[in-house]
Amino acid sequence: MIISIFSDIHSIDGWDKSAFDYLPKIFLAILALVTFYIIAKVIRRYSFRAYTKVLKKQTELAKFISSSLYIILIFAGIFFALDILGLEGVVTKLLAGAGIIGIVAGFAFKDIASNIFGGFIINIQKPFKDGDWVMIDGKFGTINKIGWITTSIKTTTGQEVFVPNQIIYNNTFTNYSIYNKRRIVLQSAVSHGDDLDLVKRVTIDEIKQIDVLLKTEIIDFYFTSIGSYAYNFEVRFWITFTKNPDYLEAMSEAIMRLKKRFEKENIKIAYPVQSLDFGVKGGVNIFDEQLIVKD
């Protein structure tokens, strides 16, 4: 393509004239380049200041926008200077070549562009920030750094996981830190012989004693089903949440409190029971009849 461009330059009408005739065009082309260069520098400087005020702490984004404007103006100056020199053929070939390169690059860097756009949206919308506890793409942990291509998460097991930004906006994600509170849903079951009103009253009473419980939120208690060996229930309550140990400690405290209180109230936490049939017809309860062991 370079050889073709130079051949076009030598074949342009008017190159048989003396170099003196082209001096005004060369001067205007240089003047155009210098003018566009100065304008590009001024626009980059003042646009960076303006976008920094608008985007506040997002200086990287402001720098990216101002640099993009700078590059566009520089290329505009180059094409304008070539047009002044009468090199329309060169400009046409450069634009055609740039179009082909752009198509190839578009396919090659499609994912990178998607990730950059995803990073742009994240930095504008701010659905989470550094240090927030999140669940993204099945990874649970704290946001370590929000980049333009990937977002890194420090998981509870201590690893740092990098999630492509396009995945974040192509799927659902959860931010547990946004409200500084989190809901705990504790499920359990009691035996068929227990007083259900007592179970509900005792459970709510113990949950109210948890240290990090949000007193302003309602404690929900529901019996959810009648199982083959138990009445299943769940209790829901809100706690103050700043870090994941808050959730784990509250869950642990709730379980310990319910176990102690259930034992005190003689409430039996249900577990699977297996029946043993010792008779030919109907079966025999080993607690109802004495077993006779023959020598």
Higher local confidence (pLDDT), 199 or 69: 199
Parallel/antiparallel/unpaired status of strands 220-226 and 160-164: unpaired
- Note the pLDDT tens digit of each residue in 150-170: 899 999 888 999 998 888 888
Instruction: List the one residue out of 142, 162, 159 whose CA is nearest residue 151.
Output: 162
Q: What is the DSSP letter of 174?
A: E
Residue 10, classified by CB atoms within 10 Å of its CB into exposed (0-12), middle (13-18) or buried (19+), is exposed
**What integer is the mean pLDDT of 116-121?**
78
CB atoms within 10 A of CB 115: 23
Q: Please count the helices (runs of H) and the strands (runs of E) in the chain.
A: 8, 8
CA 188 to chain centre: 33
72-81 long-range Cβ contacts below 8 angstroms, 24+ apart:
73/36, 73/39, 73/40, 73/43, 74/36, 74/37, 74/40, 76/36, 77/32, 77/33, 77/35, 77/36, 77/37, 77/40, 78/33, 78/36, 80/32, 80/36, 81/29, 81/30, 81/32, 81/33
- Note the pLDDT tens digit of each residue in 16-61: 555 555 667 777 777 777 887 888 788 777 777 776 666 555 566 6
Q: DSSP string covering 241-271, please?
A: -SSHHHHHHHHHHHHHHHHHHHHHTTPPBP-
Q: Which domains are assigned to the chain?
A: 2-108 (1.10.287), 127-175 (2.30.30.60), 181-264 (3.30.70.100)
CA 47 to chain centre: 29
pLDDT of residue 249: 95
10 pLDDT more than 80 = no
Higher local confidence (pLDDT), 73 or 263: 263
CB atoms within 10 A of CB 294: 3
**What integer is the mean pLDDT of 191-209?**
94
* CA atoms of 202 and 209, how far apart (whole Å): 11
* CA atoms of 268 and 224, how far apart (whole Å): 17
pLDDT of residue 292: 56
4 pLDDT more than 70 = no
* CA atoms of 133 and 143, how far apart (whole Å): 7
Q: SS3 of 208, please?
A: coil
* CA atoms of 129 and 146, how far apart (whole Å): 8
Taking phi first (over 0 means left), then psi (-120 to 50 degrees means alpha), and beta for anything else, what does residue 223 get? Answer: beta
- Note the pLDDT tens digit of each residue in 80-102: 777 776 665 665 666 555 555 55
